[in-house]
Chain A
């Protein structure tokens, strides 16, 4: 392997922060008043969503909001595209968009 140019061993500039514990991963970020989101996915591989009852979740202490596909539609938020070519709203599969996008069906 030559010392320079094509085939040379190049050190990565990001490695120093990773090997010294100075990386900044999502879980490392902490701001005052920070809140957290949890995505709920369908327990069924394929199903029609007749209704979402979020009353019990909203009753839990500290829960600020439960957002569903209806809220997304109400705010004019479009479909999340997690995979190129996958433009259908869906939940359940590991490569599908997050649950709040589900409007009508899980697949």
Chain B
């Protein structure tokens, strides 16, 4: 099938097999390997990207379903020289160890903060329920999200 979509601001038109998942399109066809496949079954959240601004698990969406949408991946939110506030907070708060879950965590966290005018620890823990980390534990991840939130315009209580 033909899929036309925008990824990180760039327009693409691709011919992919009908059963191609969005995450496969990103990783194999576009070489954007920052989006990870941790479980393939929607449980771990490592593949989280933004579709028209909302976080989705890219392993659970067919590439064809993303026709005409705007996708943003971890590569599209900031660069080493100009980090997104959430990326900077993850670094500052030591919110990662092996880094495998990190892209999905950051993409989910950005969506969570954008849609939460008021955040507290419980809300962050609830909001990141769909993202699993196997090394750091969640303490520093929650701290990072609460650190980035005010910089993104959300109130933290």
* Chain A contact residues, CB within 8 Å of chain B: 9, 11-12, 14-25, 27-28, 30
- B34, A21: Cβ atoms closer than 8 Å: yes
Assembled-state Cα–Cα distance A24/B96 (Å): 15
Select one of B27, B32, B35, B87 contacting A19, CB under 8 A: B87
Residue-wise interface mask of B (15-52) relative to A, using a CB-CB cutoff of 8 A (1 in contact, 0 not): 00000000000011001111111000000000000000
- With A14-B99, A27-B37 given, is the CB distance from A19 to B106 under 8 Å? yes
B58 CB to closest chain A CB (Å) equals 13
**Given A17-B80, A18-B98, A20-B80, 20 new contacts (CB under 8 A):** A11-B92, A12-B94, A15-B96, A17-B99, A18-B96, A19-B87, A19-B102, A19-B106, A20-B34, A21-B33, A21-B35, A21-B74, A21-B75, A22-B34, A22-B75, A23-B34, A23-B99, A24-B33, A25-B36, A25-B100
Residues of A near B32 (CB, < 8 A) are: 21
Residues of B near A11 (CB, < 8 A) are: 91-92
Q: How many residues of chain B have a CB within 8 Å of chain A? A: 28
* Chain B contact residues, CB within 8 Å of chain A: 27-28, 31-37, 73-75, 78-80, 83, 87, 90-92, 94, 96, 98-100, 102-103, 106
Assembled-state Cα–Cα distance A28/B37 (Å): 10
B63 CB to closest chain A CB (Å) equals 18
- A30, B28: Cβ atoms closer than 8 Å: yes
Q: Which of B37, B73, B98 has the most CB of A within 10 A?
A: B98
Pairs of residues from A and B, 4 with the lowest C-beta to C-beta distance, nearest first: A21-B34, A18-B99, A21-B74, A28-B33
Q: Which of B27, B37, B92, B102 has the most CB of A within 10 A?
A: B102
Select one of A9, A20, A23 contacting B78, CB under 8 A: A20
Select one of A20, A23, A28 contacting B83, CB under 8 A: A20
Select one of B91, B98, B103 contacting A21, CB under 8 A: B103
Select one of B28, B73, B102 contacting A18, CB under 8 A: B102
Assembled-state Cα–Cα distance A99/B36 (Å): 27
B152 CB to closest chain A CB (Å) equals 16
- B90, A19: Cβ atoms closer than 8 Å: yes
- B33, A19: Cβ atoms closer than 8 Å: no
Residues of A near B27 (CB, < 8 A) are: 28
Residues of A near B34 (CB, < 8 A) are: 20-23
